[in-house]
Structure 1
Amino acid sequence: MSESKQRQVHTPELKSKVGLEAIRGTKTVNQIGLEYGVHPAQVS
């Protein structure tokens, strides 16, 4: 049997940083996703 990968838990601090970056609109969704290690679909 293969080991299952645990889901990544994002802290409230990370969520607020990503949210503020998205609201500011200075970076694209893809850039924010790469910078913070989250999928772009989670940013928008």
Structure 2
Amino acid sequence: MTRRTRRNFTPAFKAPVALAALKSDKTPAELAQQYDIHPNQITDWKRPLTARAVQVFGDTGSPASSDPDLTK
């Protein structure tokens, strides 16, 4: 039996896979087959994406009007 070498995935690859998992139009098993990865990897990549989603929208305790274009 041939062993597959350890693969390192870039954030550019992980992001669309995790977003596809969040859409929930396919099961993790179907996505894993589509992207040729293990279903547990999809779950592992989806977890930090959902946990840090609040930070994406700027809820870090800083004022929301820090952008000068928004104060006009």
TM-score normalised to structure 2 length: 0.51
Give the aligned length.
41
Task: Determine which structure has the larger helix proportion and give its number.
Answer: 2
* Higher radius of gyration, 1 or 2: 2
Q: Percent identity?
A: 32
C-alpha RMSD of the superposition = 1.5
TM-score normalised to structure 1 length: 0.78
Higher relative contact order (CA 8 A, sep 6+): 1
Q: 1:33 to 1:5 in 2, by over 3 A?
A: closer
Unaligned runs of 5+ in 2: 44-72
Which residue number corresponds to residue 26 of structure 2? 27
